[in-house]
Structure 1
Amino acid sequence: MDALHAAPRRQRHALPAGGCDGGSTRALRRGLRRQPRATGRPVARIARDLRLPPGRCRNSLRLETGGSARGRARRKGGCRSLHVGRARSAGGRVNSGASDRAVTQPDSSPAVPEVLRGIRAVVFDMDGLLLNTERLARKALHLAATELEIEVDDDLCAAMIGVPTDGCRRLLLDRYGTAMSPDAFFAASARHLHAQIDAGEMRLQPGAHELLEALRQARFPRALATSSARQKAMHHLQRAGIVNCFDAIVTRDNVARGKPHPDLFLHAAQRLNTAPQRCLALEDSYNGVRAAHAAGMPVMMVPDLLSATQEMHDKSLAVVSNLHQVRKLMADRLARAARSAAQT
């Protein structure tokens, strides 16, 4: 749908079954800290080696994003979970009034606080992550299809999310062949998209302003990495009033390959003079998450039109429902950055 906008991770141990008392928990954690991270030795075996009671070593940590900035860790039997705020219906849409749900993180994912302590910069996607332009683009696609008297379903619109123009052209040619002109379709879609923007329908996504401001106050480096063409990206950012919020803006014009290839994220990290594994990527699309993961960047997914699949959970540090929750998870890291900046 961007046609309209023309490093190894650390092993996270699963905790063994059973109950857990304070002494066993502390001993188990000491044992975990002593293990080389690359070994991935099962926690159950570590517990046995430490001669801990076999039935008393079950524990998991739940991060409550609605709590303090540090997050409250509490014991809870079962798997390691991360609260992500609003629940989703079976169709994948966000239920704004629903209670929090816990999204199980894969055992291969590192704990969120541990990774965030090492983060030195943040790299944002644009459409669907910072701006509601994916929803506007979907409407524009349907309006263009009606104008050109062709049928475009939601599955095709979803397949185009996070895909650069050349990829969208291939999708259209695969679906329609020579029965329609991709360029004519793109032109009509872009016209309808701009009409919506001119009518004032483009808005920042929930939490976008607050997160950008928190990063600015902490003097935390930030970049934009979008599959959109530079002219369109700059237009959207200027209209949204956030064009000056970034230390670097990387677009499809700057790289040979778009998402899901890692080029955009690698180029953004280079522009920030920060190693990719020290950057936190924020994405809403499947191809965006795949691109950040391929670049070796820890990535948080903030779903918009696409709900998180198992692949997305496997590749993401966390899946959260809005950027407010990203800011809360980063609160400790930003506070340390602000203190460090104040001393310089």
Structure 2
Amino acid sequence: MKKIKAVLFDMDGVIFDTERIYLEHWIEIFQKHGYTMTQEVYASVMGRGRENVMKIFKEVYGQDLPILEMYKEKDKMLKQAVEEGKVPMKPGAKEILGFLKNNNFKIALATSAKRDRMIMQLKMANIEAEFDAVICGDDITKSKPNPEIFLKAAQSIGIAPENCAVVEDSSAGIDAAYKAEMLALHVEDLKKPDEEILKYCKKSFKDLFEIKEYIAQISNINIQ
């Protein structure tokens, strides 16, 4: 295993407990429009970027699905949830960021979210300074599982892909990290480790505390 010099984080479902809020909002919006959203359908689109999500939703629910209108409703609901402090950080997020910073790892955020929401969430949590670089959906042309976002993040912090670890909760994210030839670490959220995730990740973890311990172990860092 190559020496890990940087850790790249997805945002939704990894740093913030956003995916559960997303699912609640989508269930409400789909019901309002006469459709039924399930956790299984939502989990299948996690991390894939808005354009891909809209395409998949239309394939599942039909081409008449008013997805643009639904996305406007979802964006408004999520913005309000963030502003009201209803989107907490995931357990262990502050701890792993502090551990990495204290041990001189480079840290980058690589999220499919749009820049305005990304900035708002980072500011609300007061963690903007924790990241050496941030790459968002506005900065890329190809969404996960394409590796573009992780390769750009690695380039922005000056670390070779083989020296980067990626923390992801979605199948698309793990696939993208694998294609980028980075160490793919899966953390459970709405998506449990299925066959595809286990095929492409180095290891799956219950939470960020376990990932912190794993990085310390493979880097020979004593955290006792």
Q: Tell me which interval the TM-score lies in, with the shorter structure as reference length.
A: over 0.9
Aligned residues of 2:106 and 2:132 also touching (Cα < 8 A): yes
SS at match of 1:280: strand
Alpha-carbon separation, structure 2, partners of 1:246 and 1:207: 16
Alpha-carbon separation, structure 2, partners of 1:135 and 1:194: 14
| Alignment equivalent of 1:167, drawn from 43, 46, 52 | 52
Tell which structure's C-alpha radius of gyration is larger.
Answer: 1
SS at match of 1:179: coil
Q: TM-score, normalised by structure 2?
A: 0.93
Pair 1:293 & 2:172 matched: no
Aligned residues of 1:202 and 1:240 also touching (Cα < 8 A): no
| Alignment equivalent of 1:263, drawn from 148, 155, 175 | 148
Pair 1:321 & 2:206 matched: yes
- Structure 1 position 156, deviation (Å): 2.0
Match of residue 278 from structure 1: 163
Pair 1:119 & 2:10 matched: no
Alpha-carbon separation, structure 2, partners of 1:334 and 1:217: 14
CA 1:149 to 1:250, structure 2 compared with 1: closer, same or farther past 3 Å?
A: same
Match of residue 188 from structure 2: 303
- Which amino acid in the other structure matches residue 103 of structure 2? A
Aligned residues of 1:223 and 1:272 also touching (Cα < 8 A): yes
SS at match of 1:330: helix
| Alignment equivalent of 2:94, drawn from 182, 201, 209 | 209
**CA-to-partner distance for each residue in 1:294-320, whole Å, 9 max, x for gaps?**
000011100100110122122111111
- Structure 1 position 190, deviation (Å): 1.6
Pair 1:235 & 2:120 matched: yes
Q: CA RMSD in A?
A: 1.6
Aligned residues of 1:237 and 1:243 also touching (Cα < 8 A): yes
SS at match of 2:62: helix
- Structure 1 position 221, deviation (Å): 0.5
Alpha-carbon separation, structure 1, partners of 2:195 and 2:57: 27
CA 1:245 to 1:334, structure 2 compared with 1: closer, same or farther past 3 Å?
A: farther
Q: TM-score, normalised by structure 1?
A: 0.61
User: Following superposition of structure 1 onto structure 2, how do residues 1-150 of structure 1 map, counting pairs within 5 Å?
Assistant: 115=1, 118-150=3-35
- Percent of residue pairs identical: 28
Aligned residues of 1:169 and 1:182 also touching (Cα < 8 A): yes
Match of residue 68 from structure 1: none
- Structure 1 position 334, deviation (Å): 7.2
User: Which region of structure 1 is more displaced relative to structure 2, 323-332 or 219-228?
Assistant: 323-332
CA 1:230 to 1:271, structure 2 compared with 1: closer, same or farther past 3 Å?
A: same
User: Following superposition of structure 1 onto structure 2, how do residues 180-191 of structure 1 map, counting pairs within 5 Å?
Assistant: 180-191=65-76
**CA-to-partner distance for each residue in 1:113-160, whole Å, 9 max, x for gaps?**
xx3x61111101100011100111001101212333332222221222
CA 1:255 to 1:160, structure 2 compared with 1: closer, same or farther past 3 Å?
A: same
Match of residue 331 from structure 1: 216
- Which amino acid in the other structure matches residue 223 of structure 1? A
Alpha-carbon separation, structure 2, partners of 1:296 and 1:258: 17
Gaps of 5+ in 2: none
Alpha-carbon separation, structure 1, partners of 2:80 and 2:6: 35
**CA-to-partner distance for each residue in 1:32-68, whole Å, 9 max, x for gaps?**
xxxxxxxxxxxxxxxxxxxxxxxxxxxxxxxxxxxxx
Alpha-carbon separation, structure 2, partners of 1:192 and 1:176: 22
Pair 1:252 & 2:128 matched: no
Gaps of 5+ in 1: 1-114, 337-344
- Which amino acid in the other structure matches residue 54 of structure 2? R
- Structure 1 position 284, deviation (Å): 0.5
